């Protein structure tokens, strides 16, 4: 039988792929922000209105403003899934094994699939906003972000594997991945205040090490799940929902790998990936702080933050590739 984990291991151990993926993802994300495709907001809202109008009864749409299930929404730049498309495209372009034609087909098909999934996500948010308003922020900022990222990753993986065959072991992996992600969501939400304090302290230490703290008058503190970046010119508030989202992805990767690897190996990989993520979270906040303290105008600051945070979507998968090389583990043939 074909070993479906072989593709995973081959990509994980390919340092060239990891490097090219990081470079392409950063470049594509920066380009997506600099282009400022305002028309895409209205286009996405229009497609969502037409699609969900078939099921949701009366809908209203005017430019980027949309009402689904009697719940008003505004489709912003981040609601178009453009950052997910940029990361997916980077994964396709960076893959070392396939022809340009197959990569072109992958990008075209991926754009269609990811955009379609995003239209479904928008409708789900409309339903949650109407019928369970108290859960909207949780579902919008945490749950659907994680589910959507995993779905995009699975789409890319199917392109790599050139197969959509689903076996019992694959189905088990999906179930464990979802369960692990939900458990991580619960645990991180319970401990988010403590994690914010730890990350703030780590970011202060990192700024001190690179000499950017005292010279720029930077101070990092926390209030609840929000990290505060203080300078002489003001305060920048950073909600840690993306960091929670990163943790969900790592947990999902660990859970999904259990049927293919020994449990101890998956746990080792997960622990190392979490450690790398914590470093990345501190580095991300430090980058925000330096950009904020440098006196950038608001559009430039937003571009920097959007690019850095967008790349953070890919960070869990990138780190997973790295730790798969550090801890090869035992791969079980799929039956």
**80-125 pLDDT tens trace:** 888 888 888 988 888 776 788 888 888 999 999 999 999 999 999 9
Q: How many CB atoms lie within 10 A of CB 148?
A: 19
Extents of the domains making up the chain: 5-36+81-326
Residues 217 and 233: their CA atoms lie apart, in Å, by: 9
The number of helix segments (H) and strand segments (E) in the chain equals 12, 6
Task: Give the burial class of 282: count Cβ atoms within 10 A of its Cβ; 0-12 exposed, 13-18 middle, 19 or more buried.
Answer: buried
User: Do 312 and 287 contact (CB within 8 A), yes or no?
Assistant: no
Whole-prediction pTM: 0.72
Pair of tokens at residue 145? 């972000």
Q: Phi then psi for 32, rounded to 5 degrees?
A: -60, -40
pLDDT (tens, 9 = 90+) of the chain, 335 residues, equals 444 444 444 444 456 777 778 788 878 877 777 776 778 889 999 999 999 988 866 788 888 999 888 889 999 887 888 888 888 898 888 877 678 888 888 899 999 999 999 999 999 999 999 888 888 887 887 778 777 877 888 888 788 777 666 677 777 877 887 788 888 888 888 888 898 899 889 888 888 877 665 556 778 888 888 888 887 778 888 888 777 777 877 887 788 777 776 667 777 777 888 888 888 888 888 888 888 888 777 777 777 777 777 677 777 777 777 776 656 554 444 44
């Amino acid at each position: 039988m074909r070993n479906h984990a072989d593709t995973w291991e081959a990509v994980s151990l390919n340092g060239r792929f990891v490097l090219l993926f990081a470079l392409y993802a950063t470049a594509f994300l920066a380009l997506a922000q600099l282009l400022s495709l305002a028309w895409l907001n209205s286009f996405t809202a229009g497609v969502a209105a037409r699609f969900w109008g078939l099921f949701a009864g009366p809908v209203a749409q005017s430019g980027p403003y949309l009402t689904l299930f009697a719940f008003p929404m505004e489709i912003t730049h981040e609601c178009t899934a453009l950052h997910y498309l940029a990361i997916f495209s980077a994964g396709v372009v960076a893959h070392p094994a396939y022809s340009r034609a197959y990569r072109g087909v992958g990008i075209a098909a991926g754009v269609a699939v990811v955009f379609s999934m995003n239209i479904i996500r928008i409708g789900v948010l409309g339903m949650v906003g109407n019928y369970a308003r108290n859960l909207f922020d949780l579902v919008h900022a945490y749950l659907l972000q994680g589910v959507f990222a995993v779905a995009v990753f699975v789409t890319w993986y199917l392109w790599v594997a050139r197969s959509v065959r689903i076996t019992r072991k694959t189905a088990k992996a999906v179930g464990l991945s979802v369960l692990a992600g939900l458990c991580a969501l619960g645990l991180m939400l319970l401990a988010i205040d403590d994690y914010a304090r730890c990350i703030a302290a780590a970011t202060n230490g990192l700024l001190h090490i690179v000499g950017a703290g005292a010279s720029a008058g930077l101070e990092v503190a926390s209030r609840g799940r929000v990290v505060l970046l203080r300078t002489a010119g003001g305060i920048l508030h950073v909600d840690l929902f993306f960091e929670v989202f990163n943790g969900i992805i790592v947990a999902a990767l660990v859970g999904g790998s259990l049927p293919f690897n020994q449990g101890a190996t998956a746990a080792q990989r997960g622990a190392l990936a979490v450690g790398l993520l914590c470093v990345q979270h501190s580095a991300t906040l430090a980058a925000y702080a330096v950009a904020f303290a440098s006196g950038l105008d608001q559009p430039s600051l937003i571009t920097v933050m959007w690019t850095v945070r967008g790349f953070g979507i890919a960070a869990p998968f990138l780190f997973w590739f790295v730790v798969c090389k550090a801890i090869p583990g035992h791969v079980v043939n799929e039956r």
